[in-house]
Amino acid sequence: MRRIPALILLALAFPARAEESKPVFEGAGGDPRISVSQPESTSQASGGYSRSIEPSLGPFGDPLGLRPVLKQRGVEYSLTYVADLLGNPVGGVRRGAAVEDRLNLRLNLDLERLAGWEGGTVHANAYFIHGTGLSRYYVGNLLDVSVIEALPASRLYVLWFDQQLFDNTLGLRIGQQAADTEFFVSQTATLFVNSTFGWPAITGLNLPSGGPAYPLSTPAVRAKYVPGGGFSLQVGLYDGDPAGANRPGDDPEAQRLNRTGTNFRTHDPALVVAEATYAYNTEKDAHGLPGDVTLGGWQHFGRFDSLRFDNTGLPLADPNSSGIGRPLRGNAGIYAILDQTLYREPGKDDEGLGVFLRAAWSPTSSSLVDAYVDTGLAYKGLFEGRDDDTLGLSLAYARISDEARRADADTIAYSGIPMPRRRAETVVEATYQAVVVPGFTVQPDLQLILRPGGGIANPRLPEAGRVKNAAVLGLRATIQY
């Protein structure tokens, strides 16, 4: 409980406005920045690095003067520290509070500067995770209230080699990778604290070990083709189970099986993710407002257990059932994304109002969530004198599949005990990211969790009915160096 108050005191010690450092306009997902309301900082894996707190620290920012020397030679590093204080005073499995934090260390090697290898880059990313997850221990919901929630660990996240070819129109990447850094990304949605606005629940709950996404990644090959005119096409081939847990969902056991991120599994059935994007009105003299449209999908080639029937054809709820799910082949889905600027402040490139919309459908029988949609608005620079602050409101909805609901009905019928049937989980989030100085943000956050777990019975008090709707209050502090 000591980290968050210390960061608040540090925020108060800084002046409201410090000497500005020029932002690096790097879009989330590794794409050109199209969202005027992409925030100053984000803890999502796809988020683009913007500014460092280094200039505000004066002589303590880089006391040995190493950073510019290393950068000139092709070596760049950055650190991001994120700390969350979250609590649910209302609803959930039980009321409580949790502190969690994560230190992220990135290293980027430009091989052309280092060794004369044209177009080559090596990138590594490691996480140092601490604290307790509010969703896991208190709220009991499916859409984790914090994107940094994970079991405490020190782990390698990604380690890859990227080669640019044909005048940078084709990029080939091989190594330990995560799909959530590049696929299914909305730049505007990177403002929000809830995990589903990064790697959506429809993939995180349906794919083995949650899929190749925070905090797990897997060996992969990714190709990205950018022919120009705003078009891009990318496809990734991943090992389909980052931990070998052989069961879908963000299971803590999966993180324990791959505690350091160095399992480097290569023999599991494959996962393929592909998407095509068209970005428009990105030129400086464009008459319209910028935005992009993305269509994508995934196919997992592994075996999954039926949510309803055993391997003999009986319902799993039947007392005579073997308890072993009937094997099903594969899991698949499609998705679409819209990121659109609605209003841009006159004379500004990165201030204004943006909207995002993402929708996905996964009709396969192995899916716990078969339909998903999220949407939201974010405004950067709304208040006078607070040009870099970002205000946002969002909503996400994850529908429990018909197969899972029928399994609930079977359980009620065979047990004779009245209990809730799962339907869907919804989260509404309002947040405000305030820039104390460039590279240091403080972010109050409010979330409403409707029908936690999709509407499950409270595991601590089953006779009390469904887990009550929860209100989550939080404060996030982020430092980028």
Buried b (16+ CB within 10 A) or exposed e, 30-63: bbbbbbbbbbbbbbbbbbbbbbbbbbbbeeeebe
Q: Give residue 461's pLDDT.
A: 81
Domain layout of the chain by residue ranges: 3-480
Measured distance CA(206)–CA(212) in Å, rounded = 12
Cα distance between residue 115 and residue 120, in whole Å: 10
| Contact (Cβ atoms closer than 8 angstroms) between residue 338 and residue 318 | no
Strand residues in 53-95 grouped as ranges (E): 75-92
pLDDT digits (tens, 9 = 90+) for 260-314: 999 999 999 999 999 999 999 988 778 899 999 999 999 999 999 999 999 999 9
Is the distance from CB of 430 to CB of 195 less than 8 angstroms? no
| Most distant CA atoms of the chain, gap in Å | 72
Q: Which amino acid is located at 205 in the chain? A: L
Task: Please give the C-alpha separations between residue 74 and each of 29, 108, 279, 388, in angstroms, as whole numbers.
Answer: 22, 8, 30, 30
Per-residue HEC secondary structure of 300-344 comes to: EEEEEEEEEEECCCCECCCCCCCCCEEEEEEEEEEEEEEEEEEEE
Compute how many other C-beta atoms are within 10 angstroms of the C-beta atom of residue 321: 18
Tell me which DSSP letter residue 136 carries.
Answer: I
The DSSP 8-state label assigned to residue 401 in this structure reads P
User: Which residues make beta-bridge pairs with 450?
Assistant: 426
457-481 residues labelled b (16+ CB within 10 A) or e (exposed): bbeeeeeeebbbebbbebbbbbbbb
Report pLDDT for 49: 60
Question: Coil, helix or strand for 211?
Answer: coil
Query: How much is the pTM?
Result: 0.91
Supply 406's token pair.
Answer: 């029928």
| Topology of domain 3-480, CATH | Porin (2.40.160)
> pLDDT tens, position by position, for the chain (481 residues)?
444 444 444 443 444 333 344 444 578 888 888 889 999 888 888 876 678 899 888 888 888 888 999 999 999 999 999 999 999 999 999 999 999 999 999 999 999 999 999 999 999 999 999 998 999 999 999 999 999 999 999 999 999 999 999 999 999 999 999 999 999 999 999 999 999 999 999 999 999 999 999 999 999 999 999 999 999 999 999 999 999 877 887 778 889 999 999 999 999 999 999 999 999 998 877 889 999 999 999 999 999 999 999 999 999 999 999 999 999 999 999 999 999 999 999 888 889 999 999 999 999 999 999 999 999 999 999 999 999 999 999 999 999 999 999 999 999 999 888 889 999 999 999 999 999 999 999 999 999 999 999 999 888 887 778 999 999 999 999 999 9
Task: Return the pLDDT at 16.
Answer: 37
455 DSSP assignment:
T
What's residue 22's pLDDT?
A: 42
